[in-house]
Amino acid sequence: MATATAFVPTGTEGTKRPSLFDILGEFRVPYEAALSWLSIFNYPWRHVDRAESKVVMLIPGFMAGDATLIPLAHFLRLLGHRTVFSGIMSNSRCPSDTLRDLATRLARAHERFGGRIVVVGQSLGGVYARALARENRDLVERVITLGSPIRQPRDAANYAVATVVSSVATLRGKANGCLSENCQCGLRLTDEAPVDVPITVVYSRTDGVVHWQACIDRSGLTNVENVEILGSHCGMAVNVEAFRVIADRLEMRRERSTHARP
């Protein structure tokens, strides 16, 4: 059961990494996928008409591409929403370049469909989604992040992922700064949230890729909510609890408080 929780900053939490037990839990992704598709046919989802449908931009996680979000896109279209992919084949490029390309794609989606866009990002994609909302507030209606390490992503990842990040950064000649608070390309990956865009932060305490505490927004802003689900990190894009949270928030108006429903 998804649970919405309000957090306030305390400044006392140190950086942690997932436990070995949580890392092993990532192998349950096939089970999560099977369960979600069975639930799609049994849960009383509400199909929205054209006037209520939203345009949703999907951004994949680190080293992943748009193909990993196809199940989520199919689900959203089943509900009557329209989806836009990020154009990313492997989310491993320079964050600054990636964010610039995403901003261009966001603007094109706005021109094509009109109105504001809901941006859903998994893991690193959610970090980019928040950055897009900060820089393009007039184009973004809402942000939903799925297991996104919004605080110190390199330090909160399990050692295997952290090693891959460092290796990719080394190939770009930016080993000391890429995907850290000292990113040499000038992009600061912080937990700063846009104050006028509703944000739903979805996290799991059994996340085996990044520590769940790094995924929580502790700003205390009224436009931000943290929603806990049960699931793996890699499986959040096929997790039925995540699907329910996303479907619910897509029915909300931008002006409506995101704390209204868990």
Mean pLDDT by 10 residues, the chain (262 residues): 58 66 86 87 86 95 94 95 96 87 97 95 94 93 95 71 64 56 56 82 93 90 95 95 96 57 41
Q: Measured in whole angstroms, how far is the alpha carbon of residue 165 from the centre of its chain? A: 18
CATH of the domain at 97: 3.40.50.1820
The whole domain housing 229 covers 3-9+28-250
d(CA 125, CA 147): 9
Residue 44 falls within a domain, yes or no? Answer: yes
Q: Measured in whole angstroms, how far is the alpha carbon of residue 230 from the centre of its chain? A: 16
- Scanning the chain, the segments in alpha helix (DSSP H) are 20-24, 29-42, 70-78, 95-113, 124-135, 153-156, 159-171, 240-250
Residue 257 falls within a domain, yes or no? Answer: no
Residue 22 falls within a domain, yes or no? Answer: no
Residue 259 falls within a domain, yes or no? Answer: no
Given this model, what pLDDT does residue 184 score? 57
Half-sphere exposure of 102 (CA within 13 A, CB side): 35
Residue 75 falls within a domain, yes or no? Answer: yes
The CA-atom distances, in angstroms, between 126 and each of 44, 71, 197 are: 28, 17, 14
Given this model, what pLDDT does residue 257 score? 41
Report whether 218 contacts 191 (CB < 8 A). yes
Q: How many residues does the chain have?
A: 262
Residue 76 falls within a domain, yes or no? Answer: yes
Residue 15 falls within a domain, yes or no? Answer: no
Q: For the stretch 173-209, what's the b/e string if a residue is b when 16 or more beta carbons lie within 10 angstroms of its beta carbon?
A: ebeeebbbeebbeebebebebbeebbbbbbbbebbbb
Residue 119 falls within a domain, yes or no? Answer: yes
Domain count for the chain: 1
